[in-house]
């Protein structure tokens, strides 16, 4: 089977697997226990927290561990809004039309609870799939408490100008802590270097299984003094923001995956993936019925998203599966259900058919040239 659905989930890197299983076996004690074994587990967590904080240019206590980007997004969004509602009558939140459901769903839920007090504004987007800084700026008011922008899109792979948006937001109301700036970085961390301080971010969500670490582990950056409420309660772990016994093996694995990003060969790996992606994309675009969705340049190196005229996404994905190729239609993260893509709809307002004809092909650092050739043949045959 050729696996080109790496934006749904990557395989685990062998070095990550080795460390994760070793920690699972040797450091099973509760990291919050006082005895030596518990302290050893906590020592692993502390070291990992330190190296992750260093990698992103922030402080040790500004990184909390979660179960993944869904939880990180929920804490960021609900936590900030619930806190703001304590001191403000009206709160506004700004997002884009191409956010992941792990951002949209918590916003919808909280707006339903406080329909007269929360306004959700969505910035416009064009065919490129890239947000313009001024379009966010135009929506800001003194009531804006949170701006949440996906760093790299999970379907079309477009990368947003996070640093420019951060700089603009910082200047908007320098005397107030608001508007806070959150970004969902689940898809971005593997290929895009980011320093949370330079980007003026207040919150940033990370997911392990999009970057060769296990599923069920993630992190949230919360800048010091960010006004935020917990959304679940228990043993007060993670500075009182995320209760629950910490996942020592998952945390060690996430740390190892981030350490791999610092190796000199990492950049080469990213360019290798980009070259393979370009080879496949160039060939696919020679087929007349195929068009690319989203900007060609400002996109993740592993991402291809195309629409195929007069073809149905679901049928293509099933035919590809039967031919030994795993790809996806729209976003795979919506509990397995195939739906037409809201992201493609948003960037193709004049051709809504495209959202039913789109497929995503996402490479990994383990993808080979032969696999790329076979993928082209399979897709061409299906069409
Ligand atoms: C952009 C984005 N955000 C959030 C998530 C959810 O991440 P997790 O599976 O770690 O909860 C995904 C998963 O596909 C994603 O692509």
Q: What's the whole-number average pLDDT of the chain?
A: 96
Query: 37 CA distance to ligand 1 centroid (A)?
Result: 33
What is the number of structural domains in the chain? 2
Do 72 and 218 share a domain, yes or no? yes
Query: Cβ distance 165 to 96 under 8 Å?
Result: no
Mapped onto helix, strand or coil, the DSSP state of residue 230 is coil
Query: 41 CA distance to ligand 1 centroid (A)?
Result: 27
Q: How many CA atoms lie within 13 A of 14 on its CB side?
A: 2
Do 111 and 191 share a domain, yes or no? yes
User: Does the structure show a pLDDT above 60 at 334?
Assistant: no
User: Does the structure show a pLDDT above 70 at 48?
Assistant: yes
* Token couple for 28: 């099973």
User: Does the structure show a pLDDT above 70 at 337?
Assistant: no
Do 179 and 312 share a domain, yes or no? no
Query: What CATH number is attached to the domain comprising 345?
Result: 3.90.1150.10
> Span 120-140, mean pLDDT?
98
Do 110 and 207 share a domain, yes or no? yes
Do 65 and 181 share a domain, yes or no? yes
Q: How many CA atoms lie within 13 A of 124 on its CB side?
A: 6
Do 181 and 303 share a domain, yes or no? no
Mapped onto helix, strand or coil, the DSSP state of residue 151 is coil
152 CB near ligand 1 (under 6 Å) = no
User: How far is Cα 149 from Cα 203, in angstroms, rounded to an integer?
Assistant: 11
The 10 Å Cβ neighbour count of residue 179 is: 24
> Span 227-240, mean pLDDT?
96
Bridge-based pairing of strands 218-222 and 203-207 is antiparallel
> Span 143-154, mean pLDDT?
98
Where among 206, 234, 261 does a domain terminate? 261
Where among 261, 276, 293 does a domain terminate? 261
Q: CA quadruple 200, 42, 213, 234: dihedral positive or negative? A: negative
Do 342 and 229 share a domain, yes or no? no
User: Does the structure show a pLDDT above 60 at 207?
Assistant: yes
Q: What is the pLDDT of residue 332?
A: 47
Do 242 and 351 share a domain, yes or no? no
Query: What CATH number is attached to the domain comprising 127?
Result: 3.40.640.10
Tell me if residue 333 is catalytic: yes
pTM: 0.97
Q: What is the pLDDT of residue 86?
A: 97
Which secondary-structure segment (H or E) carries 144? strand 144-150
Structural domain for 37, as ranges: 14-261
Do 198 and 289 share a domain, yes or no? no
Tell me whether residue 40 is exposed, middle or buried, using C-beta atoms within 10 angstroms of its C-beta: 0 to 12, 13 to 18, 19 or more.
Answer: middle
Angle 133-136-141 (CA atoms, 0-180°, nearest 5)?
Answer: 135
The 10 Å Cβ neighbour count of residue 191 is: 23
pLDDT tens figures, 349-358: 888 889 899 9
Query: Which DSSP letter does residue 225 get?
Result: T
Q: Which of 210, 200, 103, 198 is nearest to 150 (CA)?
A: 103
250 CB near ligand 1 (under 6 Å) = no
Do 24 and 146 share a domain, yes or no? yes
330 CB near ligand 1 (under 6 Å) = no
User: Does the structure show a pLDDT above 60 at 335?
Assistant: no
Do 165 and 23 share a domain, yes or no? yes
Indicate which residue's Cα is closest to atom 16 of ligand 1: 154
pLDDT tens figures, 62-105: 999 999 999 999 999 999 999 999 999 999 999 999 999 999 99
* Token couple for 236: 């007060």
pLDDT tens figures, 368-381: 999 999 999 999 99
Query: 50 CA distance to ligand 1 centroid (A)?
Result: 24
Do 37 and 182 share a domain, yes or no? yes
Where among 246, 261, 276 does a domain terminate? 261
């Amino acid at each position: 089977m050729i696996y080109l659905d790496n934006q749904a989930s990557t395989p685990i890197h062998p070095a990550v697997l080795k460390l994760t299983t070793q920690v699972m076996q040797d450091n099973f004690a509760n990291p919050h226990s006082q005895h030596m074994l518990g302290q050893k587990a906590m020592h692993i967590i502390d070291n990992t927290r330190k190296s992750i904080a260093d990698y992103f240019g922030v402080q040790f206590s500004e990184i909390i561990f979660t179960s993944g980007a869904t939880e990180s997004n929920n804490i960021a969004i609900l936590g900030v809004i619930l806190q703001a509602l304590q001191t403000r009558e009206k709160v506004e939140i700004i997002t884009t039309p191409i956010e992941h459901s792990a951002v949209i769903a918590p916003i919808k839920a909280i707006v339903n609870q406080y329909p007269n007090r929360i306004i959700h504004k969505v910035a416009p987007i064009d065919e490129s799939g890239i947000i313009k800084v001024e379009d966010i700026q135009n929506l800001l008011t003194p009531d804006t408490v949170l701006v949440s922008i996906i760093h790299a899109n999970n379907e079309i792979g477009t990368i947003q100008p996070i640093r420019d948006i951060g700089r603009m937001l910082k200047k908007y109301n320098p005397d107030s802590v608001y508007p806070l700036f959150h970004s969902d970085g689940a898809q971005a961390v593997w290929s895009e270097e980011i320093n949370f301080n330079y980007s003026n971010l207040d919150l940033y969500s990370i997911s392990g299984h999009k970057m060769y670490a296990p599923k069920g582990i993630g992190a949230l950056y919360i800048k010091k003094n960010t006004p935020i409420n917990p959304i679940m309660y228990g043993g007060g772990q993670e500075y009182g923001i995320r209760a629950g016994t910490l996942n020592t093996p998952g945390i060690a694995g996430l740390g190892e995956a981030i350490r791999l990003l610092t190796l000199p060969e990492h950049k080469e790996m990213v360019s290798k993936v980009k070259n393979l992606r370009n080879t496949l994309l160039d060939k696919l675009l020679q087929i007349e019925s195929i068009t690319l969705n989203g900007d060609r340049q400002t996109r993740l190196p592993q991402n291809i998203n195309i629409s195929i005229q007069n073809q149905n996404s679901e049928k293509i994905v099933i035919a590809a599966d039967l031919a030994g190729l795993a790809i996806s239609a729209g976003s795979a993260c919506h509990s397995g259900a195939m739906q037409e893509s809201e992201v493609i709809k948003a960037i193709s307002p004049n051709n809504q058919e495209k959202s039913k004809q789109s497929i995503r092909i996402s490479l990994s650092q383990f993808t080979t040239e032969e696999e790329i050739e076979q993928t082209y043949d399979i897709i061409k045959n299906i069409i």
